[in-house]
Amino acid sequence: MGFLAAVGRAFIAFLAGTGRIALFTGNSVMHCVRPPIYPRLIVRQMIEVGYYSLPVVGLTAVFTGMVLALQSYTGFSRFNAESVIANVVVLSITRELAPVLAGLMVAGRIGAAMAAEIGTMRVTEQIDALSTLSTNPFKYLVAPRLIAGLVTLPLCVLAADVIGVFGGYLVSVHKLGFNPAIYLKSTWDFLEALDVISGLVKAGVFGFLISLMGCYHGYNSKGGAQGVGAATTNAVVSASVLILSSNYLITEAFFSTVP
Amino acid sequence: MTEIDNKIEVRDLRKAFSGKVVLDGVDLDVPRGESLVVIGGSGTGKSVLIKNIIGIIHPDRGSIKVDGEEAVGMKARDREAVTAKFGMLFQGGALFDSLPVWENVAFGLMAGHGTSRVDGKEIAIEMLRQVGLAPAVAELSPSELSGGMQKRVGLARAIATKPEILFFDEPTTGLDPIMADIINDLILQCVRELGATALSITHDMISARKIADRVAMIHAGKIIWTGAISEIDHSGNPYVDQFINGRAEGPIQMEIGKP
Ligand SMILES: Nc1ncnc2c1ncn2[C@@H]1O[C@H](COP(=O)(O)OP(=O)(O)OP(=O)(O)O)[C@@H](O)[C@H]1O
Ligand SMILES: [Mg+2]
């Protein structure tokens, strides 16, 4: 009995949590589209989310591209290596690795920062103060971050696509001794719009989820420094899990019809 | 209807936090254009009372009327219109630490009254002067200020929009006696000259005697005495007597030292 009760309690808590997040999401999205909007804050968040994430996303992408080329070479070194490796690199980067790895890196950087900042504002009553100053905290704090996440992560991933392919090119040309022209031509031939677009769609969803989790956990943090710490951890963990699970769903939606 | 003379009317307000009863049926009237001071021991729920009135804590039960309009259970839209009448000084300051001091002070003006940044800054510097802070403070970040300076910035922020109803949570705590008197004068000026209604919380009886038209004492979740400030020395209420004279002996038993 005790066991069943515990399972039931956990399940109810899960449903309640899901409901709370759904309400929070609905509320946030509503405030994203209803005026007043704060362009200054959106731009500031876009710089924070996009521009300052570029170095870490770029480093991740270049090393991923390099390692992909190296690993595929060990597997496919027999024949047609130039075209096969170019194909593997560009497909894996644009479809999967750039969006997912960039998403995870940005979740660690931005999700945590958002949860900590909003959480501190919560526990020091700054969020309460906002509402006494004719300012809706959802419009002022949450909406700019959601918009920035949604818009800038795809831009980051676009950059990561280019940098990742370049990483593969570096290893292929300088280490494996491929012909640069042939490598680039194969890359270009294999590249399809859908590969890039699916990656960008993923990036948009991931960016939204990262901001949403950062804001949600920050907004609902309780207690003092400890509560803010817990909010930060929860924001990063839940964003990462959501990124990986939604990645599967989006992949299936885009490519399941392709045999 | 006589109640129209009351700017704020609280009836049977109850609030418990996870089973711990804090407000246990509070009845309180704040007459229009008057200054009411709430006194009471530490942890008796004074801050919780104010937060219920301004709508950042939701009561378990009871009625709160602002200008004769029921505020409990109000829709978010209407709520914003009511909140726009309020100015609040938080006990902990609750300054926005991402913004410089002057933007804190001018926040309500720029967010709710369409004041431009240039005008906002000018007004902020004038407000800072009124609370005894030099113009140079305007450019600092709140974290660079002392506790008492933060309190005064919080006060300037609360009154900058000239709201109809002012809430001051311990306005003079942490200030030296001279500065406390300047702040008392400022609060009086808001009530007497601008016609605002004020509800303040204080432990500082010198301040209470100066700024209060009426006093209400809260104890064990209820308002146990209310009267004009002139009556406070002859209230005939042993709780009030003990509190205003600061005696350890009396009906109010502190938790400390009990077996
Ligand atoms: N958000 C909250 N969650 C749980 N308990 C709370 C919360 N806010 C206040 N309390 C509890 O309510 C009680 C009253 O708190 P409140 O801050 O109103 O005291 P106060 O009268 O303002 O005291 P002080 O004069 O020290 O500021 C305290 O015992 C506190 O523990
Ligand atoms: Mg208090």
DSSP string of A103-147, one letter each residue: HHHHIIIIIHHHHHHHHHHHHTTHHHHHHTTT--HIIIIIHHHHH
Which pLDDT score is estimated for B255? 56
Of the listed ranges A72-81, A185-194, A198-207, B72-81, the one predicted with least confidence? A72-81
Please give the residue that has the higher pLDDT: either A186 or A247.
A247
Indicate the SS3 state at residue A172. Answer: helix
B96/A contact by beta carbon, under 8 A: yes
Tens of pLDDT, residue by residue over A144-173, are 999 999 999 999 999 999 999 999 999 888
> What is the mean pLDDT of the segment spanning A244-253?
92
A58's CB contacts (< 8 A; 6+ apart) are: A159, A160, A163
Widest distance between CA atoms in chain A: 70
Rounded to an integer, what distance in angstroms lies between the CA atom of residue B181 and that of residue B193?
Answer: 17
Rounded to an integer, what distance in angstroms lies between the CA atom of residue B229 and that of residue B212?
Answer: 6
| Cα(A230) to centroid(ligand 1), Å | 22
Residue A201 reports pLDDT greater than 70: yes
The reply to whether residue A126 touches residue B94, judged by beta carbons under 8 angstroms, is yes
> What Å distances lie between residue B155 and A159, B42, B187, CA to CA?
47, 21, 9
Average pLDDT score, chain B? 87
Q: Which residues surround ligand 2, an ion (CB under 5 A)?
A: B 47, 91
Rounded to an integer, what distance in angstroms lies between the CA atom of residue B22 and that of residue B43?
Answer: 9
| Residues in chain A, total | 259
Angle, CA of A55, A59 and A61, to the nearest 5°: 115
- Closest ligand 1 atom to the C-alpha of B40? 21
Residue B2 reports pLDDT greater than 70: no
How many whole angstroms from its chain centre is CA B203?
12
Reported in sequence order, the residue ranges of B211-253 that DSSP labels E, i.e. its strands, are 214-219, 222-228
Which residue reads 């704020």 in tokens? Answer: B8
For chain B, give the percent of residues with pLDDT over 90.
34
Tens of pLDDT, residue by residue over B46-105, are 999 999 999 888 999 999 988 888 888 888 788 888 888 899 999 888 999 999 999 999
Which pLDDT score is estimated for A257? 67
Q: In chain B, where are the structural domains located? A: 6-85+163-256, 97-156
* Inter-residue contact A216 to A26 (CB < 8 Å): no
Chain B window 29-68: which residues touch A at a Cβ cutoff of 8 Å? 51, 54-56
The highest-confidence range among A179-193, B88-102, B236-250, by mean pLDDT, is: B88-102
Query: Any idea what DSSP says for residue A151?
Result: H
**Residue B163, token pair as written in the block:** 């709201």
Residues having CB within 6 Å of any atom of ligand 1: B 17, 22, 40, 42-48, 91
Reported in sequence order, the residue ranges of B83-212 that DSSP labels E, i.e. its strands, are 86-89, 165-169, 197-201
The reply to whether residue B54 touches residue A126, judged by beta carbons under 8 angstroms, is no
Which residues sit opposite B227 in a β-bridge? B215
> What is the mean pLDDT of the segment spanning B10-37?
90
- The chain B residue lying nearest A120, using CA atoms, is B97
Tens of pLDDT, residue by residue over B117-159, are 899 999 999 999 988 899 999 999 999 998 888 988 999 999 9
Query: Any idea what DSSP says for residue A36?
Result: P
For chain B, give the percent of residues with pLDDT over 70.
96
**Residue B67, token pair as written in the block:** 């200008």
Rounded to an integer, what distance in angstroms lies between the CA atom of residue A51 and that of residue B31?
Answer: 54
| Cα(B44) to centroid(ligand 1), Å | 7
- Closest ligand 1 atom to the C-alpha of B46? 21
Query: Any idea what DSSP says for residue B234?
Result: G
- The chain A residue lying nearest B52, using CA atoms, is A128
Which pLDDT score is estimated for B192? 86
Rounded to an integer, what distance in angstroms lies between the CA atom of residue B234 and that of residue A85?
Answer: 93
B199 pLDDT band (50/70/90 cuts)?
very high
Which amino acid does the sequence have at A254? F
Chain A window 126-165: which residues touch B at a Cβ cutoff of 8 Å? 126, 128-136
* Inter-residue contact B26 to B220 (CB < 8 Å): no
Which ligand places an atom closest to the C-alpha of B169?
Answer: 2
Closest partner residue to B84 among A125, A128, A134, by Cβ? Answer: A134
A27/B contact by beta carbon, under 8 A: no
* Inter-residue contact B166 to B198 (CB < 8 Å): yes
| Per-residue exposure over A39-75, b if at least 16 CB sit within 10 Å of its own CB, e if not | eebbeebbebbbeebbeebbebbbebbbebbeebbee
| Cα(B48) to centroid(ligand 1), Å | 6
Closest partner residue to B90 among A121, A129, A134, by Cβ? Answer: A129
Residue A64 reports pLDDT greater than 90: yes
The reply to whether residue A132 touches residue B111, judged by beta carbons under 8 angstroms, is no
Of the listed ranges A72-76, A144-148, B53-57, B209-213, the one predicted with least confidence? A72-76
Q: How far does the CA of residue A127 sit from the closest CA of chain B (Å)?
A: 8
Rounded to an integer, what distance in angstroms lies between the CA atom of residue A151 and that of residue A39?
Answer: 13
B235-244 long-range contacts, Cβ below 8 Å, gap at least 24?
A: B243/B39, B243/B40, B243/B41, B243/B217, B244/B39, B244/B205
Q: Is the ipTM of this complex over 0.90?
A: no
Ligand 1: which residue has its CA nearest to atom 18? B45
| Cα(B45) to centroid(ligand 1), Å | 5
| Cα(B90) to centroid(ligand 2), Å | 9
Architecture of domain B6-85+163-256 in CATH? 3-Layer(aba) Sandwich (3.40)
Query: Which of B13, B18, B22 for a ligand 1 pocket mutation test, highest count of atoms within 8 Å of Cβ?
Result: B22
